[in-house]
Chains A and B, each alone.
Chain A
Amino acid sequence: MSWRLWVPLFAFAAFVGLAAYQLTQPKDDFVQSGMVGQPLPYFDLPPAMDGVEGVTSGTFADGEPRLLNIWASWCLPCIAEAPQLESLEQQGAKIVGIAIRDRPEDVAGFLAQHGNPYTHIGRDDLSEVQLAIGSSGVPETFVVDGQGVIRYQHIGDIRARDVPILLDELEKAR
């Protein structure tokens, strides 16, 4: 009789062990874009606010690799990644932004508060371009080479450890 009393505990321990193992496994929660390795689709976005340039697929066709940052002023992780974008820009990265479902006054407010690392900012009110390049959320950052081909996708906010990775990818795209 008495060994049977231990069965629930052992079954439970097995569950905890399995769950603990699974928690340590890297979880593939990200939807990787099928567009990595493909050229950017054609698009033409108006400027997201006064005084900046809009974004077209032609912006990427001058031989210079660029970062394409999908963001929005209503997105908190975008605030978190602002310093990293700043540091990328200072280290020579050219960053093109696309503001998703945003208002010009909010974009201006965001940039005034958190800095403007962008050379161009396009306005994507219906997430059309976002979906066309295979981005499933905000923020995401793509490395696009000088021929307009998507080379690399970073999902989520850019943390400090991602900065060298992105610089490296930009170098590789050259």
Chain B
Amino acid sequence: MIAELGLAALWLAAALAALQMSAGFLALRAGNASELAALIRPAAIVQGVLVTFSFAMLVWLFAITDLSVKLVASNSHSLKPLVFKLSGTWGNHEGSMLLWVMVMGLAGALIALVERRLPERTMNATLAAQGVVSLGFYAFLLLSSNPFERLPVPAAEGMGLNPLLQDIGLAFHPPTLYLGYVGLSVAFSFAVGALLTRQVTPDFARAMRPWVLAAWIMLTIGITAGSYWAYYELGWGGWWFWDPVENASLMPWLAATALLHSASVLASRDALRTWTIMLGVVAFSMSMVGTFLVRSGILTSVHAFAVDPERGTFILVLLGIFIGGALLLFALRANTISEGERFALASREGALVFNNVMLSAILAIVLLGTLYPLLTEAFDVRVSVGPPYFNPVGAIFAIPMFAVMAVGPLLRWREDRIDRIGKEVALTAALVVAALVLTSLLTEIGLLPLLGLVFGIGLAVASWLPLRGRNLARTPLATWGMVVAHFGIAVALIGMASESAFTKERLAAIEQGDTATVGPWTVVLEGVEPVAGPNWTAVQARLSARYGDGEARELTPQSRNFWAPPQQTTESALATRWNGQLYAVVGDRSPDGRWQLRLWWKPFVTLIWYGGLLIALGGLLALIGRVLTDLRHRRLAARIAERRADREALA
């Protein structure tokens, strides 16, 4: 019954999306006179309620482990801890797509409820576009991946969840990314709405900006968390592998970063109109392309997803309709949108445009590297594109971007002279040069880590300069957000550079009681014991690790065997200090009875993720600042309207 209720709600929501779409387009043709226009907002709101109900039903089915439902039987297990039963709801294709449409439905309902700044015609077009996108995903769910499908005969027991996914961090990692993707779908709808009605105005950018910001925060958190997960769960000691799935999350982030900045230019200066529209389309298409690459299985990845060519085809068709349609509209309409305000090269806009171009170039590089194996496979050549391509080629554009990032926020809007900020530029340059000389004298490290380190240090200082000479209490929250986010980039950059430059690795085969050293650490293998968990057994090594002459810490890396489904995973053990992490993995036992231990000392590696969190925090500050300002404006406008009404009444 529960499954049927969920399915019925899903069909109804799909019908409402169709209504929202058709009413929106009809209203667009007929003007506001159309009676249908009054239906659009309520349709969006009720649709949000229905799809949320449908998702709640699926969560319920997972909570009670209803094994007559195919999805539950293939992805859950009665022995699984409750939190993983619940996260199992979206730890699979169908459930995650339902989560996607739910968030999309909620986002649509929210715009319908609160967004009143834009002309009604543009809002109708925006909600119509949102209806098209939602309808596509409803069709996908209902026609090819029904999450509520029943089994003819209930299964005796569920098939478990991929043991790699039984991890609290990962339970919340995909939903975070999804929130980001969906936020970009809202930005996409706004862009299409503005393009359809030719209303590419600062108001449009202001309406779109919170959504882009929210999406960007979620993507930042998702990527940071995903990277940390890969780091401690895969047991390879790396934190980024340029794997297609990782790239699939990085590409929308790059596009969203560019979009965020160009939307700011449009909102404050009414410039970069077509470019912002283009980025709005590109950002969403990157999330769709990413989803397609991951789900269709046309690229091989360390992340195992249920691969199904039929679903791949479906996503490709959706992608073709949404993005092809939007790009066609762009090609036809962009000519009729005037260019907007002009600005000098040396200006805030100029710096933002430069960084936009660099971000787009990096995006193109990542996209090309990700798709290249697909291209060569068409000619029967199998290649694998990895760090030797991505790192140096990306750096060509990233390094100038960091340089401009350090000084750009100091420039004034519209027109400025570099010599006005000469002191700040000189300070930053001196810092970079000093760091460069010092590091190359003291240590011998590769060019890329060296550049990363010195630009990171320069940027870490320069990112705070925009606050100089300001009254800190009256500085807008959005400015604080920018400063914190830029500082976060610097922190993460220093972490990445330090990790790649100074990591020490040790592979040792030792007996119980023996000692291995790595960097400043001394590690003693105290013992090896079997341990058991709720659905796994493991071999656990007890290590006693000492940093220099410091206190001994106990580390317990494990090699786990899950039994439903059978799979072996490594659980690394970490010892975190302020200046880095010791990373330990236990391997197999060699025939002579010695245990294989893999140890890494990674100085300042944690800065990578602290940096990521700072970036997200910066975004959050900016978002709160923007929303508060919007609310204040709205109150002000309401008060003015009230006074005017009073005055008219008096007259």
Query: Distance in Å from the Cβ of B35 to the closest Cβ of chain A?
Result: 35
Smallest CB-CB separation from A137: which chain B residue? B565
C-alpha spacing A127/B521, complex, angstroms: 38
Q: Are B375 and A18 in contact (CB under 8 A)?
A: yes
Are A5 and B155 within 8 A (Cβ)? no
In-complex Cβ contact of B330 among A5, A19, A73 (8 A): A5
Q: Inside 8 A of A75's CB, which chain B residues have their CB?
A: 159
B566 touches A22 (CB 8 A): no
Q: Given A18-B378, A23-B313, A74-B159: A9 and B327 within 8 A (CB)?
A: yes
Q: How far is the CB of B338 from chain A (nearest CB, A)?
A: 12
Contact of A9 among B73, B289, B331 (CB under 8 A): B331
Tell me the minimal C-beta distance from A24 to chain B in angstroms.
8
Q: Inside 8 A of A51's CB, which chain B residues have their CB?
A: none
With A8-B278, A19-B292 known as contacts, the answer to whether A100 contacts B159 (CB < 8 A) is no
Closest to A100 in B: B566
* Contact A12 B327, beta carbon cutoff 8 Å: yes
Q: Is B392 an interface residue (CB 8 A)?
A: no
* CA of A100 to CA of B564, assembled, Å: 11
Minimal beta-carbon separation of A53 from chain B (angstroms): 24
Q: Are the C-beta atoms of A29 and B324 separated by less than 8 Å?
A: no
B371 x A23 contact (CB < 8 A):
no
Asked whether A63 is an interface residue with its Cβ less than 8 Å from the other chain, the reply is no
What 1/0 flags go to B362-377 for Cβ under 8 Å of A? 0000000001001101
**What are the residues of chain A within 8 A of B580 when measuring CB–CB?**
none
Neighbour of A16 across the interface among B307, B316, B566, CB < 8 A: B316
B334 touches A5 (CB 8 A): yes
> Is B335 part of the contact surface with A, judged by Cβ < 8 Å?
yes
The proximity string for A residues 92-128 relative to B, scoring 1 for CB distances below 8 Å and 0 otherwise, is 0000000011000010011001000000000000010
| Measured CA separation A22–B377 after assembly (Å) | 8
B153 interface residue (CB < 8 Å to A): yes
For B548-581 the 0/1 string (1 means CB < 8 A from A) is 0000000000000001111000000000000000
- CB of B312 within 8 A of chain A? yes
Given A19-B374, A29-B297; A76-B73 close (CB under 8 Å): yes
Q: How many residues of B contact A (CB 8 A)?
A: 41
**A9:B330 contact, CB within 8 angstroms:** yes
Is B566 a contact partner of A19 (Cβ separation < 8 A)?
Answer: no
Contact, CB under 8 Å: A15 / B371: yes
Expressed in whole angstroms, the minimum distance between the Cβ of B527 and any Cβ of chain A is 24
- Bound complex: CA A55 to CA B156 (Å): 26
Render B288-305 as a binary contact track against A, CB cut-off 8 A, 1 for contact.
010010001110000000
The A-contacting residues of B in range 344-371, CB under 8 angstroms, are: 371
Give chain A interface residues in 6-53, CB to chain B under 8 Å. 6, 8-9, 12-13, 15-16, 18-23, 25, 27, 29
Min distance, Cβ A26 to any Cβ of chain B, angstroms: 10
- Chain A interface residue count: which class? 20 to 34
Alpha-carbon distance A74/B74, docked complex (angstroms): 10
B313 and A76 contacting across the interface, CB-CB below 8 Å: no
Residue of A nearest to B300 (CB): A29
Is B378 a contact partner of A16 (Cβ separation < 8 A)? no
Interface: B320 (CB within 8 A): yes
Task: From A5, A16, A29, A109, give the contact of B320 (CB < 8 A).
Answer: A16
A76 to B149, CA, bound (A): 15
Contacting pair A74 B331 (CB below 8 A): no
- With an 8 A cutoff between CB atoms, is B285 at the interface? yes
Chain B proximity of A88: nearest CB distance (Å): 21
B74 neighbours in A (Cβ, 8 Å) = 76
Query: With an 8 A cutoff between CB atoms, is B319 at the interface?
Result: yes
Determine which residue in B307, B331, B334, B371 has the highest number of CB atoms from chain A within 10 A of its CB, and name it.
Answer: B331
Task: Knowing A16-B324, A29-B297, say if A23 contacts B159 (CB, 8 Å).
Answer: no
List the A side residues contacting B489 at CB < 8 Å.
Answer: none
Instruction: Tell me whether B328 is interfacial, beta carbon within 8 Å.
Output: yes
| B309 is an interface residue with CB less than 8 A from chain A | yes
Closest to B293 in A: A19
A59 to chain B, nearest CB (A): 24
Residue among A1, A6, A8, A74 making CB contact with B565, cutoff 8 Å: A74
Q: Which residues of A contact B153 (CB under 8 A)?
A: 113
A2 in the interface (beta carbon within 8 A): yes
Q: A15-B371, A29-B307, A74-B565 are in contact. Are A109 and B324 (CB under 8 A)?
A: no
Q: When chains A and B are docked, how far (Å) is the Cα of A75 from the Cα of B319?
A: 34
Q: Are B298 and A19 in contact (CB under 8 A)?
A: yes
Q: Are B313 and A13 in contact (CB under 8 A)?
A: no
Q: Are B298 and A74 in contact (CB under 8 A)?
A: no
Distance in angstroms between the alpha carbons of A163 and B323 in the assembled complex? 43
B72-97, CB < 8 A from A: 73-74
Give Cα A19–Cα B323 distance, bound, in whole angstroms: 14
Asked if B157 CB lies within 8 Å of chain A CBs, one says yes
The distance in angstroms between the C-alpha atoms of A16 and B281, with both chains bound, is 16
Residue of B nearest to A109 (CB): B156
Q: Would A18 and B374 count as touching, CB distance under 8 A? A: yes
Contacts of A110 in B (CB 8 A): 156
Interchain CB contact under 8 A, B324 and A13: yes
B285 / chain A contacts, CB cutoff of 8 Å? 12
Across the interface, do A74 and B316 meet the contact criterion of CB distance under 8 Å? no
> Chain A contacts of B289 at CB under 8 A?
15
Q: How far is the CA of A74 from the CA of B320 in the complex (A)?
A: 39
By CB atoms of chain A within 10 A, which of B307, B375, B565 has the most? B565
A20 touches B309 (CB 8 A): no
- Most A CB contacts (10 A, CB to CB) among B278, B297, B316, B335 go to B316
In the complex, residue of chain A having the shortest beta-carbon distance to the beta carbon of B70:
A76
Asked if B324 and A22 make an inter-chain contact with CB atoms under 8 angstroms apart, the answer reads: no
Tell me the minimal C-beta distance from A82 to chain B in angstroms.
Answer: 11
Chain A residues contacting B324 (CB-CB under 8 Å) are: 9, 12-13, 16
Q: Is the CB of B566 within 8 A of A127?
A: yes
- Asked if B327 contacts A8 (CB within 8 A), the reply is yes
Contact between A23 and B316, CB atoms less than 8 A apart: yes
- Smallest Cβ-Cβ distance to A9: which chain B residue: B327
A5:B335 contact, CB within 8 angstroms: yes
Q: Are A23 and B155 in contact (CB under 8 A)?
A: no
- Give the docked Cα–Cα distance between A2 and B337 (Å): 12
Cα distance A133–B537 when bound, in Å? 25
Enumerate chain B residues within 8 angstroms of A2, measured Cβ to Cβ: 335
Most chain B CB neighbours (cut-off 10 Å) among A1, A74, A75:
A74
CA distance A127 to B374 in the complex (A): 34
When C-beta atoms are compared, the residue in chain A nearest to B371 turns out to be A15
- Bound-state CA distance A129–B327 (Å) is 55
User: CB-CB < 8 A to A23: which residues of B?
Assistant: 296, 298, 309, 312-313, 316
Please state if A20 and B316 are interface contacts (CB–CB under 8 Å). yes
A-contact bits for B131-166, CB 8 A (1 contact / 0 none) = 000000000000000000000010111011000000
Closest Cβ–Cβ distance, residue A76 to chain B (whole Å): 6
User: With A and B bound together, what is the CA distance between A1 and B307 in angstroms?
Assistant: 42
Q: Please determine whether A22 and B378 come into contact, CB atoms closer than 8 angstroms.
A: yes
State the CA gap A79–B154 with chains docked (Å): 11
28 contacts between A and B (CB under 8 A): A1-B335, A2-B335, A5-B331, A5-B335, A6-B331, A8-B330, A9-B324, A9-B330, A12-B323, A16-B319, A19-B292, A20-B316, A21-B378, A22-B298, A22-B374, A23-B296, A23-B316, A25-B378, A27-B298, A29-B307, A74-B157, A74-B159, A74-B160, A76-B74, A79-B155, A101-B563, A106-B157, A127-B566
The 5 A-B residue pairs whose C-beta atoms are closest, nearest first, are: A9-B327, A5-B331, A6-B331, A22-B298, A5-B334
Further 4 A-B residue pairs, CB within 8 A, beyond A29-B297, A76-B155, A76-B159: A13-B324, A19-B292, A22-B377, A109-B156
